[in-house]
Amino acid sequence: MAFDIEMIKAVYAKYPERIAAARKTVGKPLTLAEKILYAHLWEGNATETYARGKSYVDFAPDRVAMQDATAQMALLQFMQAGKKKVAVPSTVHCDHLILAQKGAKQDLRDSLTASGEVFNFLESVSNKYGIGFWKPGAGIIHQVVIENYAFPGGMMIGTDSHTVNAGGLGMVAIGVGGADAVDVMAGMAWELKFPKLIGVKLTGKMNGWTSAKDVILKVAGILTVKGGTGCIVEYFGEGAKSLSATGKGTICNMGAEIGATTSTFGYDDSMARYLKSTGREDVALLADGIKEHLTGDDEVYSNPESYFDQVIEIDLSTLEPHINGPFTPDRATPVSQIRAEAEKNDWPTKVEWGLIGSCTNSSYEDLARASSIAQQAIDKKLKTKADFGINPGSEQVRFTADRDGLLRIFENLDATIFTNACGPCIGQWARTGADKQEKNTIVHSFNRNFSKRADGNPNTHAFVTSPEMVAAIAISGDLGFNPLTDTLLNEDGVEVKLDPPVGDELPEKGFAVEDNGYQEPALDGSGVEVIVNVDSKRLQLLEPFEPWNGHNITGAKLLIKAFGKCTTDHISMAGPWLRFRGHLDNISDNCLIGAVNAFNEQTNSVKSQLTGEYGPVPATARGYKAAGVPTIVVGDHNYGEGSSREHAAMEPRHLGVKAVLVKSFARIHETNLKKQGMLGLTFANEADYDKVKEDDTINFLDLDQFAPEKPLAIEFVHSDGSKDVILANHSYNDAQIGWFKAGSALNLIKTEQKKNA
């Protein structure tokens, strides 16, 4: 039986009535995304039509998922909410704090030693508050979720941007910051601006070397890293039905890389097969009973231009394998053109590593298809010319793949099998020689390839492609290798060609596992004590942020004017910094150290107006804070793209930053800033970015009149005495202005809890 089956039954029981009410209210056929959103309204049945991209709407998600790196801060905040138990089914998954270096067994042992304090904290908090706990080694959060918790038509939020992976089973699953998760776990409504809708019609059927990964690599090239911002991407068409559930998950997973709120597919036979194969026949039976409500209406898919804000069409029959990168996941290159692009841009073509795994591509099907290429290499007397690493997605996938001989094939090709965890994908890769910062190339099946992300080396050119292409390129050792046309010289001096990959969508013998790593929480956690050592370097209880004093912010200084791409990896790096994710003060020492200063084009070097000297961003911020001088951060387009990590909002807040003023925001980061009581503002005129000088003094002129849809006037006083007054737009509604006034959304939750106690 599936987890939380009674909850799923309750959700499905409400569907017919709520969809009927939504259709009556909206007055037209509905997309799948609209059905799920309207079925999960906080107050129940729809009574009004919400404006896409404008209306803020309260929703009631069905469940919450958290990974260990973000769960620390989320649960530290939840501990302040005054609740005895979570209000909705919630889980914690230990997958980020596990190194990849020597191999699965040794790496897991080393990680348990290094991060045992954090794992024990998460286990005890989970036990106390009724949260399911997935132990280190159990698997990557999103693979575990799709195997155990995702269900068609459900709504889930998770403290990781790739929560969207669950769209592969027809959910609206959305990545959020920890404060949003606290709202839902505390039994409160969750607010989201009603998304716009992008429809992607898939025709034809994939063949040869093309995989589901190539669909999203193609879409990323079309929409770019910000083209999906504020939108749900809904895939449909006969091509969509031909994809496996985990293939759909791969596509939804990387929707985070186009800034999409989430992505999803309608319920179909492939989802039913996957549910049954993973022991959830009961969910499949329930879904079959309301299947007309778990996909878009026929009229929508017949005439998509009338129902979506944007429509893209892709013919899977002609889709070519892609390789995206380097340094950004939307630089899309068909494999037939990659050699020419590499030569034109001076990318290193010698491939040092090929890596398969991450939450994007670590399913049984992924391993099966990639292992078929590895077996060909063995049979055709080829050896890998690049190092080769594999991260299975879960213990269930690993155990089953091992039983079926897939892992042995990789090992026979000298691949290293890492722990069932994120590993290199989020910088938990102890790569030998990365400290030399040599220019080099790696290929992987992950989702992101920002500078320094995998190994900390800014000169590592990381390229994203499918697992089967990773295997082929690792064997060839050549970025420009095109397995569709090129041959390789084997150890006998004979030219051989790799055949297209093959692999079962689902294991023929079914999934198997001895210990999936799940730990049920105590029925009554009131007696569980959660201990945080005051001297801990890893964990720190939170102190509430100060509320706004009601006055204009004046005399502020510029902390940094960030130039170009500034992702959450630039604002709060992962890798070795993950060890401080539960200690706000310690992790704040990485605040904005990866951002490029527009005035000297260097990282982690900003001018202090207190001393006139250049120094690290965190130290400079601490100097201003100690002197009682407020600061602001200025940024470029799509500021805060990437991970959902709310540390990128909490660290500047902790260090005294009052406002972040940019050309445009990534959705999750803007929300995180609001939740932490920060001002997230955008230039009304983007050209005003150029008016901001390094030694400005900054005064807010009308913050005391802060109101929805009313721009704020900000005065920049330059060192020569001249001034520029610019207008800054914002998207705050009345409730969000309340968060700002209270100092944070959590402060408001605590106030309400005391009133109701």
Residues involved in catalysis: 95-96, 160, 448, 643, 645
Q: What whole-number distance in Å separates Cα of residue 347 and Cα of residue 478?
A: 11
Tell me which residue of 91, 227, 246 sits closest to 156, measured CA to CA: 91
Q: Determine the 3-state secondary structure of 539 from DSSP.
A: strand
353 beta partners: 387, 442
Q: What whole-number distance in Å separates Cα of residue 535 and Cα of residue 676?
A: 25
603 beta partners: 596
Residue 72 burial (10 A CB sphere; 0-12, 13-18, 19+): buried
Locate 144 and state its tokens. Answer: 């575990």
Please report the DSSP string for 594-642 in residue order. TSBBTTT--BS-EE-TTTS-EE-HHHHHHHHHHTT--EEEEE-TTBT-S
Residue 724, C-beta contacts closer than 8 angstroms, at least 6 positions apart? 688, 691, 715, 716, 718
| In contact, 630 and 655? CB cutoff 8 Å | no
> What is the distance of C-alpha 635 from the center of its chain?
21
Q: Determine the 3-state secondary structure of 115 from DSSP.
A: coil
384: phi then psi, degrees, rounded to nearest 5: -70, 135
CA angle 399, 403, 406 (to 5 degrees): 95
Locate 621 and state its tokens. Answer: 């911020």
Q: Determine the 3-state secondary structure of 681 from DSSP.
A: strand
**Number of other residues whose CB lies within 10 A of the CB of residue 561:** 23
Locate 385 and state its tokens. Answer: 């010319």
Residue 751 burial (10 A CB sphere; 0-12, 13-18, 19+): exposed
Q: What whole-number distance in Å separates Cα of residue 140 and Cα of residue 129?
A: 22
Distances (CA, A) of 356 to 257, 415, 451, 643: 18, 10, 19, 20
Amino acid (one-letter) located at 712: L
Q: Pairing mode, if any, of strands 606-607 and 614-615?
A: antiparallel
Q: What whole-number distance in Å separates Cα of residue 705 and Cα of residue 710?
A: 9
| In contact, 321 and 210? CB cutoff 8 Å | yes
Distances (CA, A) of 262 to 120, 247, 253, 257: 32, 16, 8, 10
Q: Determine the 3-state secondary structure of 218 from DSSP.
A: helix
Residue with tokens 């994120």: 422
Eight-class DSSP state of 721: S
Q: What whole-number distance in Å separates Cα of residue 128 and Cα of residue 229?
A: 37
Q: In what order do the strands lie in the sheet with 387-390?
A: 332-334, 322-324, 460-464, 440-444, 351-356, 387-390, 416-417
DSSP E strands in 410-516: the ranges are 416-417, 440-444, 460-464, 488-489, 495-496
Q: How many helices (H) and strands (E) does the chain have?
A: 25, 30
DSSP E strands in 269-324: the ranges are 310-315, 322-324
Q: Determine the 3-state secondary structure of 41 from DSSP.
A: strand
**Number of other residues whose CB lies within 10 A of the CB of residue 121:** 24
User: For residue 192, what is the enclosing H or E element?
Assistant: strand 190-193
